[in-house]
Structure 1
Amino acid sequence: MNIVKHLRESNYQSSRKKQYYRRNQRINAYLSTIIFAALIGTYLDLLLVGAGLYSFPKRPFSEVFTINILFTLCILPLLSLIIIFVLTRLHKLLRYLFLFICSLFVYIVEQTAEQYGLFIHSTYWKHEFSLFGYFLFLIFIWKFYSWLDN
């Protein structure tokens, strides 16, 4: 009769270390990605507001910033975090459908925000720019997260 004993040299501890390392890697990937999303969103807003394509008449610290820092530094990173969290649980084909639905949602919300005076777009602006722009932005953010997580 064989009796199996736990050896001190077994890799049980190593397995726990790998899980800990993997969890830290994932947390770092999430944090890095939301910071990256905030930076990209801020620079894109600075560029597009500077080009006169749109403006934010109602924004915090309007005497200091030409962009809506509440959106680029709080709302956009939070939504990016939620979207990445959902994407990690979806099948590959459903990910792109989900990203397109998110972009479509932003397309609608942007037009609604414009009606409430939160946005002013130039006459050259087409809201389809936002639809495709956010779709590409979200794909880019997802690819960045995937790269960091692997």
Structure 2
Amino acid sequence: MNIAKHWRKSNSPSSQKKPFYQRNLRLKSYLSTAILASLIGTYLDLLLVGAGLYFFPKRLFSEIFTINILFTICILPLCTFLIIFVLKRIHPLLRYFFLLICSLFAYIAEQTAEQLGLFIHSPDWQHEFSLIGYFLFLILIWRFYCWLEKGEREDYSKMR
């Protein structure tokens, strides 16, 4: 008994490659958001270190920079990529809960870095404000990413 198999491609529409512009929209939004996160982190550190609220005793190029550029140039953008990657894939109702969990993680990491001597706060520092600050920062970064994605999609649809 011979059974003929259906050829899958016979009923499917022709697969065309997406234009270069459309394929790179998401990457452009990710990079722009990571750069914004890095800039905000850098300027907040400069402002708060300048105000004497904390400082970084161990940092790269300590004779040049008063802030930890390794964190603001490498770690913060990488974390931004990862957080956006996860936020894009979870249910909208869970997104702000995830941001709160990330803020809590950053809050704990900040205190751990302080215990390791990488970060020193002034005696007036309130760690609870860090938790709120991280949460607001992450919301701002997420909303910026969403705004970029929406604008890029609208620009692309106008080009078609």
Q: TM-score, normalised by structure 1?
A: 0.87
Correspondence for 1:63: 63
Q: Percent identity?
A: 71
Kindly report which structure 2 residues correspond to 1:13-32, keeping only aligned pairs within 5 A, or say none. Answer: 16-17=17-18, 20-32=20-32
Aligned length: 138
- Runs (4+) of structure 1 moved beyond 2 Å? 15-18, 20-23
3-state SS of 2:137 partner: helix
Distance in structure 2 (CA, Å) of the matches to 1:148 and 1:132:
24
3-state SS of 2:138 partner: helix
Correspondence for 2:138: 138
Deviations 1:2-46 (A, max 9, x none): xxxxxxxxx968x6446x433211110011110111001000000
Distance in structure 2 (CA, Å) of the matches to 1:17 and 1:89:
22
Correspondence for 1:108: 108
Distance in structure 2 (CA, Å) of the matches to 1:134 and 1:77:
14
CA RMSD after TM alignment: 1.6
Kindly report which structure 2 residues correspond to 1:1-150, keeping only aligned pairs within 5 A, or say none. Answer: 16-17=17-18, 20-150=20-150
Cα offset, 1:129, TM superposition: 1.4
Distance in structure 2 (CA, Å) of the matches to 1:103 and 1:17:
37
Deviations 1:94-129 (A, max 9, x none): 000000000000111111110111111011101111
Q: TM-score, normalised by structure 2?
A: 0.82
Distance in structure 2 (CA, Å) of the matches to 1:12 and 1:42:
48
